[in-house]
Chains A and B, each alone.
Chain A
Amino acid sequence: MRTNRLKLLVGGVQLRDGVTTVTDLLGKIFTRAGLYAIAMEKGYASTIYGAHQYDPMLVTETPAVSYGDPDIDILVALDYDTNPDAKQQPNRDTVLRHGGFLRDGGILLYDASTGEIPTDDLEARGVKVFPIPARKIAHTELKKEVVKNIIMTGALFRLVDFDNDTAYLTQLLEERFLRKGRELVDLNLQAAARGREAVEKILAERGYELTVRLEPRPAKKAVYVSGNDCLGAGAIAGGVRFYAGYPITPASGILEFMERYLPKYGGRVLQGQNERESIRAAIGAALAGARAMIGSSGPGISLKVEEIGVIGATETPVIVVDAQRAGPSTGMPTRPEQGDLNLVLGSGHGDIPRIVIAPGTIEECYTLMLEACELSDKYQCPVFFLTDLNLSEGKKTVLEEVFAHRPKVTRHAIVREDDVRGKTYRRYEITESGISPRSVPGTPGAIFKTSGAEHDEFGFVSIDPAKRAAMMEKRMRKMDTYLREDWKPPQVFGEVRGAPVIVGWGNTRPVLEEARAVLQARGIKAALVHFTHVWPLRRDALDALLADAGPVVVVEQNYSGQFADLLQQELLIPTRRVLKYNGIPMHPTEVADAVQKALEREGAVVRIGGTAPVKVEVGRNEHEGD
């Protein structure tokens, strides 16, 4: 019997079966029970109704690094056949798609309302099958079809010997439904009991032995939250009081979060009529003195590019969240990718200073956002905050102590009335740091003229060559100041000297940490160098770090290896690449395999995923002469 480590996957038909309703409920209950849950590999489609949806979850006793490999202990299939007379059963998606990932001896729990399905191949591998006619019970016995998911939840809890006294479930149901009446709570509890009974019956009939159990641990202060929730909370704690967005997956969650909570903190939220209106309104709000943020995804950021230039040239502080999804164009709206790096690095014509940071975990969506708030205010330039679909919409048990980290919100280089008394105020004063004191409208004596066109120190449009050069240099000097004062070096795991180095950035860190452990177990001592501060990069520090390193393998989730290109360009070192871009998140073992392959040849590009087997290609190597 294994205690407190469970990997489960809940699947069903989008919207109809309430997949995330179940996993959200489980995540919340497990978190309250002192356990840790991660559900960060959501699978759904860009449709409202009918497509297959799944939500895998890992439950552990101590915090897990990542979701890990795609193996499953318990598969919960909520789909049922809507047409009982159908010869084939089209709604077996969950079993067909994910059955292969069930561990030998695992558990399949499925809705058998419209008949049992053939499971011989699974049973041959020792899978214990639990057909529960949940919808039928809900419909005929309990007279309320929606409680079918609670029947399944009750069944699942029985399978892992959890919440036998229904204390957790009762509490959650009371919180949710008591204001609608005691009967509704009782009905749901009855449903859970029916699920338990059904499992009990099958256990007795088939004589199955259960192998996984969950046991509550002393409660810790923790919440079950998404990355969008965390970055929203970070923005509020970091002083953001104006948020603008336009609905787009997977950034819409930020808009919803902000609409719900920002007004409670005196802030305002604008749902723009298009992507451009939202970023422009944020620029206006920042100009007026509010700390402003916008959120979007790749296609939306493409539309906002014009204004990125405005932010850079007018030196208006705006935080730009890009919750990446797979591209190009509308791409795969509901699949993750790290494909927008080139977009945010190159957005806007001409040269503008910019800062790009990317959190590695849901916790960092909070802590790094606090930093982003400070950086935008200090450097008066676009600060990009790159998450991705999994990080944005995925959920995880996060200790509340993470949110206790609340640095004082400060204002950098803002001129007040007293600062300019008797002086001539120049909005774009040439300074050594490149940062010019900013005034906000309403400050007597500090009237400013701001322009996205090239301007002099007063902000008046100018094409004077000397003034142009000085202003350009002043703006770009901010990057030197940033590298000196605020740049954070990459996190290093292990000994870099003489060892192969895995390099990653942003949301893949947990997977890379585990891939490194896999390699270590195979006797390959690789180091991991992981970047959250992605641009600009400090060459001297990185040169020193990688000077005596072995081969550098950059692992990222895009086709070309955008960060690898950046490293090659900045550090003049050759990189090998491991790339995955099929829309499925990376998993530790496949990354370890691919890194191992990449280590075999110089310039190797190893692509993961697709139907083709992992294949090594000899890539370009610009550092060897013809």
Chain B
Amino acid sequence: MSTKGTKIWDENAVPKHRIQWCPGCGDFGVLAALKQALTELEIVPHELLLIGGIGCSGQIRNYLNGNAFHGTHGGALAYAVGAKMANPDLKVVALAGDGDTLAIGIENFVHVCRRDPDMVLLVMNNGVYGLTKGQDSPTAGLGQEREEFSEEHPPMVDPLLLALASEATFVAQSFSGDVKHATRMFVEAFQHPGFAFINDFSPCVTYNKFNTYEWFRDHVEHVPPDHDASSKDAAWALVRDFARRGKVPLGVVYRNPRRCKRFERLPMWEDELGEVDLEPVLAAFR
């Protein structure tokens, strides 16, 4: 894989030597794949809006070129929805972690799946809250037996099932240890007209000593080529089948472009706004 041409993504970004991820962090793989995908798609950095979540994952917005915003925990998707509604020409990507998306942000996640705005949500899933030193996230417990859970530590939320149940129109899974495959997933997500959700397994080498790169290499399995991603029944069956076999699917699980109404960019500049005519409003009140 060539990184030639991805240079453009290093401008306006925090230099490599100041990246504050632990050596070996899965997010490096996501960054590499994201740059590669954006390069392949010939996206222009100034038309890109990266909305970062809270946590290690959200830092990625500063490590590559493009406009970036960073607000509160669980808020990334809602900011992104507003930005996309205001300017549909923008390429909007929400970059969040599993805690950000599925704990505090779970309500937004469900409703944005339903809204189906034309943007990408890339979740860097490692099963822990890394930035606050290793507490359980809602996806903690991947690959563990049912008996191992308690009320304090319930079984994990499966992001794929939740996305399917929430009417997401593009659901895919990737793994940071397979940058080439992740790149392909990101490209497909950007090309999807509607809300594209990718759950990327991005191992936390410091705090998650169970779901390591080795563990993932033993457990990931590509979605079979004959899988009918356009069928929701097939998608449900696939996720359940993988779970039963203790495996983790990589690939596009579900894809069904929904035709959303295309909106114009909202008037933003003074010449576009001009002086408004309030007559239609007043007429209704007379």
Contacts of A306 in B (CB 8 A): 72
Shortest A89–chain B CB gap in Å is: 38
A284 within 8 A of B: yes
B21 within 8 A of A: no
A234: nearest residue on chain B (CB-CB)?
B278
A268 and B71 contact, CB distance less than 8 A: no
A385 within 8 A of B: no
B12 within 8 A of A: yes
**Roughly how many angstroms separate A348 CA and B263 CA in the complex, as a whole number?**
34
A residues 289-347 near B (Cβ < 8 Å) are: 289-292, 306-307, 309-310, 314
Which of B48, B49, B75, B276 has a CB less than 8 Å from the CB of A288?
B49
Would you give the 0/1 interface string for A429-464, flagging 1 where the beta carbon is closer than 8 Å to chain B?
A: 000000000001111111111111100000111000
Given contact pairs A223-B285, A283-B71, A284-B81, A408 touches B275 in the complex (Cβ within 8 A): yes
Would you give the 0/1 interface string for B235-274, flagging 1 where the beta carbon is closer than 8 Å to chain A?
A: 0000000000000000000000000000110111110011
**Roughly how many angstroms separate A418 CA and B47 CA in the complex, as a whole number?**
17
B81 and A270 contact, CB distance less than 8 A: yes
B187 within 8 A of A: no
Which among B14, B62, B70, B281 has the greatest number of chain A C-beta atoms within 10 A?
B281
B268 and A443 contact, CB distance less than 8 A: no
A448: nearest residue on chain B (CB-CB)?
B67
B12 and A447 contact, CB distance less than 8 A: yes
**Roughly how many angstroms separate A264 CA and B75 CA in the complex, as a whole number?**
29
A447 and B67 contact, CB distance less than 8 A: yes
A229 and B285 contact, CB distance less than 8 A: yes
B85: nearest residue on chain A (CB-CB)?
A268
Given contact pairs A32-B286, A277-B108, A461-B62, A450 touches B68 in the complex (Cβ within 8 A): yes
A280 and B79 contact, CB distance less than 8 A: yes
B108: nearest residue on chain A (CB-CB)?
A277
**Roughly how many angstroms separate A56 CA and B30 CA in the complex, as a whole number?**
64
B282 within 8 A of A: yes
B71 and A442 contact, CB distance less than 8 A: no
B273 and A409 contact, CB distance less than 8 A: yes
B59: nearest residue on chain A (CB-CB)?
A461
Shortest B279–chain A CB gap in Å is: 9
Contacts of B285 in A (CB 8 A): 223-225, 229
Contacts of A403 in B (CB 8 A): 278, 282
Which of B47, B51, B62 has a CB less than 8 Å from the CB of A442?
B47
A452 and B71 contact, CB distance less than 8 A: yes
Would you give the 0/1 interface string for A562-586, flagging 1 where the beta carbon is closer than 8 Å to chain B?
A: 0000000000000000000000000
Contacts of A281 in B (CB 8 A): 78-79, 81-82, 85
Shortest B65–chain A CB gap in Å is: 7
Would you give the 0/1 interface string for A232-258, flagging 1 where the beta carbon is closer than 8 Å to chain B?
A: 110011010110100000000000000
A460 and B79 contact, CB distance less than 8 A: no
**Binding stretch for chain A, among B86-94, B151-159, B189-197:** B86-94
**Roughly how many angstroms separate A270 CA and B266 CA in the complex, as a whole number?**
13
Contacts of B143 in A (CB 8 A): none
B46 and A265 contact, CB distance less than 8 A: no
Given contact pairs A274-B107, A444-B46, A289 touches B12 in the complex (Cβ within 8 A): no
Contacts of B45 in A (CB 8 A): 447
**Roughly how many angstroms separate A232 CA and B281 CA in the complex, as a whole number?**
10
B83 within 8 A of A: yes
Given contact pairs A236-B281, A449-B68, A289 touches B268 in the complex (Cβ within 8 A): yes
B181 within 8 A of A: no
Contacts of B67 in A (CB 8 A): 441, 447-450
Contacts of B275 in A (CB 8 A): 406, 408-409
Shortest B77–chain A CB gap in Å is: 8
Shortest A445–chain B CB gap in Å is: 7
B83 and A268 contact, CB distance less than 8 A: no
Which among B45, B46, B69, B86 has the greatest number of chain A C-beta atoms within 10 A?
B86
**Roughly how many angstroms separate A356 CA and B70 CA in the complex, as a whole number?**
25
B46 and A459 contact, CB distance less than 8 A: no
A273 within 8 A of B: yes
**Roughly how many angstroms separate A236 CA and B276 CA in the complex, as a whole number?**
8
B111 within 8 A of A: yes
B61: nearest residue on chain A (CB-CB)?
A449
A residues 453-480 near B (Cβ < 8 Å) are: 453, 459-461
Given contact pairs A280-B75, A284-B86, A285-B82, A449 touches B46 in the complex (Cβ within 8 A): no
Given contact pairs A447-B66, A453-B70, A241 touches B267 in the complex (Cβ within 8 A): yes
**Roughly how many angstroms separate A461 CA and B62 CA in the complex, as a whole number?**
9
Given contact pairs A277-B108, A288-B87, A400-B282, A237 touches B276 in the complex (Cβ within 8 A): yes
A242 and B107 contact, CB distance less than 8 A: no
B71 and A289 contact, CB distance less than 8 A: no
A288 and B270 contact, CB distance less than 8 A: no
Contacts of B65 in A (CB 8 A): 447
Shortest A599–chain B CB gap in Å is: 42
Given contact pairs A229-B285, A270-B85, A447-B66, A284 touches B78 in the complex (Cβ within 8 A): yes
Shortest B55–chain A CB gap in Å is: 12
A266: nearest residue on chain B (CB-CB)?
B267
Would you give the 0/1 interface string for B166-183, flagging 1 where the beta carbon is closer than 8 Å to chain A?
A: 000000000000000000
A441 and B46 contact, CB distance less than 8 A: yes
Contacts of B273 in A (CB 8 A): 239, 241, 409
A288 and B90 contact, CB distance less than 8 A: yes
Shortest A304–chain B CB gap in Å is: 11
Q: Assuming A242-B266, A287-B79, A440-B268, what are 16 further A-B pairs, CB within 8 angstroms?
A: A223-B282, A233-B281, A241-B86, A273-B107, A280-B72, A280-B82, A288-B86, A290-B267, A310-B75, A406-B278, A408-B270, A411-B269, A440-B87, A447-B46, A447-B66, A451-B70
Q: List 17 A-B contacts (CB under 8 A).
A: A223-B285, A233-B281, A241-B273, A264-B280, A281-B78, A281-B79, A284-B79, A285-B266, A287-B49, A288-B90, A289-B266, A291-B268, A310-B72, A408-B270, A441-B87, A441-B90, A451-B69
